[in-house]
Amino acid sequence: MKREFIFLGPPACGKGTQTSKLAQHFGFPHIDTGSLLRAEIKNETENGKIAKSFIDKGQLVPVELVGGIIKNRLSQDDCKNGYILDGYPRSVEQAQMLEKINSEIDNGQSTSFRAIYFELNPDILISRIVNRRSCPNCGEIYNLKSKPPKIEGKCDKCATELTQRKDDNEETAKARFETYFNETAPLIDYYKNKGNLKTINAQGTIDEVWERLLEVVR
């Protein structure tokens, strides 16, 4: 049976870390839609050029275009047994588009679809964002409190100087949460009503959250 997973949760809830672990666990591709879109732009594909034209104007990339990029990725051979999709869908409209994409790709194949929601107190989320640091070279993510680098300010993997995103501050974090809950949170009810939603408590260590995640994906 093909297994399809999407992950829901506000910024800094830890889903990126856990999706990577789960991808290794199952041997499925972890598809980060933000990285996927940036790669299309960097490689100057036709979709990438169109997406860039909207981004350069400060406009949102059209739903149909994002859907086309997602469909192309999910159609590749490494997704034939399953995938883990992170960062998409972000709205009920996109969720409906994903259902259409899956239906066309799966073509009657037996599948299991689950939406995993990472639930966490907003105050903890803000603390995570303010203390978040990342490696501009390899993309590794750190947290000064819960996952500090072994050498202060240096990436454990490649020794590159860690950076902090300009928008990783309390004021911006609160605004991002408000946007998330207004725009994306309706997906929780959408998938709950379809019987596809599994919720986990995302507070605790990476290992503790991992064990909870394994319980809901078995």
Which residue numbers are catalytic?
15, 90, 132, 165, 176
Residue 120, classed as helix, strand or coil, is coil
- One-letter amino acid of 74: L
The conformation of residue 161, written as its DSSP 8-state character, comes to B
CA neighbor of 116 nearest in space, from 21, 35, 37, 212: 212
CA neighbor of 31 nearest in space, from 74, 60, 66, 93: 74
CA atoms of 45 and 65, how far apart (whole Å): 12
Token pair in block for residue 197: 């939603």
CA atoms of 216 and 210, how far apart (whole Å): 10
The conformation of residue 162, written as its DSSP 8-state character, comes to P
CA neighbor of 74 nearest in space, from 55, 59, 89: 89
